[in-house]
């Protein structure tokens, strides 16, 4: 009985957590659409977070994209050539890189690099009573701390994913050309890829970057701000952020993929 009860309790807790994250995310989108929310200090936080999450991550994302491009695009070129299906190279690459690998890897990079830092930063602020200092000055923590960070994370994931796609295709083509496995003519390669892109892919990459990015920001902020006055709780908040944000990214990714194909 206690085993069944614990499963039930776990399910109830999971439901409450999901409902909380979704309601905070909805509130953040509503706040972000209100021009009065974007005061000078809030814009300052947004800018700094975009620099940290987006701009500063370009180098690392570029390296990962280059390596991914070499391994995925070259293999695809080789195998499609052997199977005599070279005309399917574009659609295959779009499916693998644009729809799946690009958004997923970028989301994971942002979780590891930025969401952990955000959770630790906000948890530290909570422990040092700095959130109360902000609140007492009339700076709503949801508006000043959570909203710009979550929005910047969503925008950064989208921007980095676009960059990832371009870099991985570029590196894959160049490597294929160098090894003599690719089509050789860059025009043929580009046309093949462009032919493989449909309007669904645009919505797909939007949904797989903006939504998980926003959820990651909300989860990191929520875990950070839920620390109650003890510094030793900070590492646990960071760990929970990684686990829960990773799960959220995968769940959203699966749902969007299924919706794309049905």
* In the complex, least distance from residue 178 CB atom to other proteins, rounded to whole angstroms: 46
Residue 70 vs 120, nearer CB to other proteins: 120
Q: Which two tokens stand for residue 170?
A: 């570029």
Residue 153 vs 193, nearer CB to other proteins: 153
* In the complex, least distance from residue 137 CB atom to other proteins, rounded to whole angstroms: 4
* In the complex, least distance from residue 228 CB atom to other proteins, rounded to whole angstroms: 11
* In the complex, least distance from residue 94 CB atom to other proteins, rounded to whole angstroms: 41
Residue 30 vs 198, nearer CB to other proteins: 30
* In the complex, least distance from residue 143 CB atom to other proteins, rounded to whole angstroms: 8
**Footprint on this chain of other proteins (rule: CB under 8 A):** 39-42, 44, 121, 124-125, 128-130, 132-140, 143-144
Would you list the DSSP string of 120-152? Answer: HHHHHHHHTTHHHHHHHTT--HIIIIIHHHHHH
* In the complex, least distance from residue 51 CB atom to other proteins, rounded to whole angstroms: 14
Would you list the DSSP string of the chain? Answer: -HHHHHHHHHHHHHHHHHHHHHHHHHHHHHHHT-GGG--HHHHHHHHHHHHHHTGGGHHHHHHHHHHHHHHHHHHHHHHHHHTT-GGGHHHHHIIIIIIIIHHHHHHHHHIIIIIHHHHHHHHHHHHTTHHHHHHHTT--HIIIIIHHHHHHHHHHHHHHHHHHHHHHHHHHHHHHHHHT-S-S-HHHHHHHHHHH--HHHHHHHHHHHHHHHHHHHHHHHHHHHT--S-GGGHHHHHHHHHHHHHHHHHHHHHHHHHHHH-
* In the complex, least distance from residue 157 CB atom to other proteins, rounded to whole angstroms: 22
Residue 40 vs 258, nearer CB to other proteins: 40
Residue 118 vs 249, nearer CB to other proteins: 118
Residue 16 vs 128, nearer CB to other proteins: 128
- Taking alpha carbons only, the member of 183, 162, 152, 199 closest to residue 73 is 183
Residue 17 vs 128, nearer CB to other proteins: 128
């Amino acid at each position: 009985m206690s085993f069944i009860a614990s499963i039930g309790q776990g399910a109830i807790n999971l439901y409450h957590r999901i409902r909380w994250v979704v309601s905070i995310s909805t509130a953040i989108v509503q706040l972000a659409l209100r021009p009065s929310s974007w005061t000078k200090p809030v814009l300052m936080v947004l800018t700094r977070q975009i620099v940290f999450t987006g701009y500063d991550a370009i180098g690392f994302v570029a390296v990962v994209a280059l390596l991914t491009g070499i391994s995925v695009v070259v293999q695809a070129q080789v195998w499609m050539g052997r199977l005599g299906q070279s005309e399917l190279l574009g659609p295959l690459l779009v499916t693998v890189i644009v729809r799946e690998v690009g958004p997923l890897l970028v989301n994971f990079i942002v979780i590891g690099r930025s969401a952990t830092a955000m959770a630790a930063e906000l948890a530290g602020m909570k422990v040092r009573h700095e959130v109360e200092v902000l609140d007492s000055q009339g700076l709503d923590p949801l508006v000043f701390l959570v909203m710009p960070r979550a929005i910047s994370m969503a925008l950064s994931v989208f921007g980095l994913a676009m960059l990832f796609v371009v870099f991985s295709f570029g590196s894959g083509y160049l490597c294929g050309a160098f090894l003599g496995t690719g089509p050789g003519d860059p025009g043929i390669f580009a046309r093949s890829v462009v032919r493989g892109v449909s309007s669904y892919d645009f919505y797909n990459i939007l949904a797989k970057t903006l939504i998980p990015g926003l959820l990651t920001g909300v989860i990191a902020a929520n875990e950070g701000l839920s620390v109650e006055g003890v510094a030793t709780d900070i590492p646990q908040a960071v760990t929970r952020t990684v686990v829960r944000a990773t799960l959220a990214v995968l769940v959203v990714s699966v749902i969007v993929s299924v919706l794309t194909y049905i």
